[in-house]
């Protein structure tokens, strides 16, 4: 396989919280290894506070890892200099959840979208920049471009604003976009159109996506034949091809997540029993449980689970699970 665009090697991120003698350490990301290849679509899934946004920020260079390495085409990003830094910054872009906060409220769409063209000297004159911005808007489905180009963010709907944010990420022809909950603040009726737009950017332009979400349904819709990595309390607990992982989930945490997803068919819903977790509360990340971090909630936990941290082990082609008792945990097949 080709060299990945980005690979994370044993990345950990720890934050300090509080003041002086009450200072606490929050282990937001713990020992995560993950790679994204050219043209690939990978979902990073987990509940709020599991560290997925922090990991996304590490990928684009907005957050330095406390331990571990981030490689861009095999080279440690801390060793990049000059033109190589520019290339990394241009090639790995991020789309944030809140499109309103992501756009400067006193700048028009033209001003926001033309800024990277001027910054990277891709255009010289205003007319040239307007032409490129109009092209971008048309590509994002904001047509006719003339109706949007001179508008301010507050004059656009949530869906239109998110398309402008996507246009800004695409402007410099990136290789990878980290999309951090890009549809969670968009009206439900418009979510699929944004996901379809991202899908077409992947197919037409070959842009890889790291899709960060808490929503398994949108991950399934967008990623299709790509991969999924499931995070729990800062760690990746299951990873592999999305279709396989969601059809035959092996980690009790993912089984619990899937069993809690409502099913529209009442006959099927009657046969589906939620996994009985021992606790519904997410542990405090400043004092994470010893051993397997899921053990205080896991219905299958045994003595070893609280004593030793389970490594990620391969259970099928490319399918990895971090669970000591993976061979004993009953199968939970999505019917």
Binding site for ligand SF4 (CB under 6 A): 251-252, 292, 294-295, 298, 300-301, 305, 310, 323-325, 329
Minimum CB distance to ligand SF4, residue 326 (Å):
7
Q: What angle do CA 314, 319, 322 make, to 5 degrees?
A: 60
For ligand SF4, the closer CB: 144 or 330: 330
Minimum CB distance to ligand SF4, residue 260 (Å):
16
- Tell me how far apart the alpha carbons of residues 138 and 149 are, in angstroms, rounded to a whole number: 10
Minimum CB distance to ligand SF4, residue 155 (Å):
49
For ligand SF4, the closer CB: 266 or 276: 276
Q: Are 230 and 251 in contact, with CB atoms under 8 Å apart? A: yes
- Tell me how far apart the alpha carbons of residues 222 and 181 are, in angstroms, rounded to a whole number: 12
DSSP assignment of 89-124 equals HHHEEEE-S-HHHHS-TTS-HHHHHHHHHHHTTS--
Minimum CB distance to ligand SF4, residue 235 (Å):
11
- Tell me how far apart the alpha carbons of residues 242 and 106 are, in angstroms, rounded to a whole number: 41
For ligand SF4, the closer CB: 186 or 305: 305
The single-letter DSSP state of residue 182 is T
For ligand SF4, the closer CB: 102 or 329: 329
- Tell me how far apart the alpha carbons of residues 319 and 52 are, in angstroms, rounded to a whole number: 20
For ligand SF4, the closer CB: 42 or 298: 298
For ligand SF4, the closer CB: 154 or 273: 273
3-state helix, strand, coil in the chain (%, to 5): 35, 20, 40
For ligand SF4, the closer CB: 62 or 260: 260
Phi, psi of 74 (to 5 degrees): 85, -5
Minimum CB distance to ligand SF4, residue 157 (Å):
43
Q: Are 68 and 78 in contact, with CB atoms under 8 Å apart? A: no
The single-letter DSSP state of residue 173 is -
The single-letter DSSP state of residue 78 is G
Minimum CB distance to ligand SF4, residue 232 (Å):
9
- Tell me how far apart the alpha carbons of residues 189 and 192 are, in angstroms, rounded to a whole number: 7
Q: Are 123 and 110 in contact, with CB atoms under 8 Å apart? A: no
For ligand SF4, the closer CB: 265 or 327: 327
Q: What angle do CA 48, 170, 222 make, to 5 degrees?
A: 45
For ligand SF4, the closer CB: 4 or 252: 252
- Tell me how far apart the alpha carbons of residues 125 and 118 are, in angstroms, rounded to a whole number: 9
Minimum CB distance to ligand SF4, residue 297 (Å):
8
Pair of tokens at residue 187: 């009206």
Minimum CB distance to ligand SF4, residue 69 (Å):
27
Minimum CB distance to ligand SF4, residue 255 (Å):
9
């Amino acid at each position: 396989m080709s060299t990945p665009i980005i690979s994370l090697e044993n990345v950990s991120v720890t934050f300090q919280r509080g003041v002086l003698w009450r200072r606490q350490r929050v282990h937001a990301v713990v020992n995560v290894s993950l790679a994204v290849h050219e043209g690939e679509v990978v979902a990073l899934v987990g509940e709020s506070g599991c560290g997925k946004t922090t990991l996304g920020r590490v990928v684009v260079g907005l957050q330095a890892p406390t331990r571990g390495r981030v490689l861009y085409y095999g080279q440690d990003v801390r060793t990049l200099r000059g033109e190589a830094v520019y290339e990394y910054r241009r090639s790995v872009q991020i789309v944030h959840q809140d499109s309103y906060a992501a756009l400067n409220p006193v700048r028009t769409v033209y001003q926001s979208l033309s800024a990277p063209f001027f910054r990277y000297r891709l255009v010289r004159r205003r007319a040239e920049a307007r032409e490129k911005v109009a092209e971008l808007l048309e590509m994002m489905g904001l047509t006719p471009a003339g109706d949007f180009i001179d508008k301010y963010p507050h004059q656009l709907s949530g869906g239109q604003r998110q398309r402008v944010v996507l246009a800004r990420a695409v402007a410099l022809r990136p290789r990878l976009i980290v999309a951090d909950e890009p549809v969670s603040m968009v009206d439900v009726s418009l979510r699929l159109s944004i996901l379809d737009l991202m899908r077409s950017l992947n197919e037409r332009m070959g842009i890889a996506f790291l899709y960060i979400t808490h929503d398994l349904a949108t991950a399934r819709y967008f990623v299709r034949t790509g991969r999924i990595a499931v995070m729990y309390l800062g760690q990746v607990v299951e990873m592999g091809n999305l279709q396989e992982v969601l059809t035959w989930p092996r980690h009790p945490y993912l089984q619990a997540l899937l069993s809690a997803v409502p099913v529209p068919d009442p006959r099927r819903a009657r046969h589906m029993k939620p996994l009985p977790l021992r606790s519904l509360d997410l542990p405090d990340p400043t004092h994470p449980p010893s051993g397997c971090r899921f053990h205080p909630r896991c219905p299958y936990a045994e003595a070893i689970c609280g004593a030793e941290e389970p490594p990620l082990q391969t259970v099928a082609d490319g399918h990895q699970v971090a669970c000591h008792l993976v061979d004993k945990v009953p199968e939970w097949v999505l019917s």
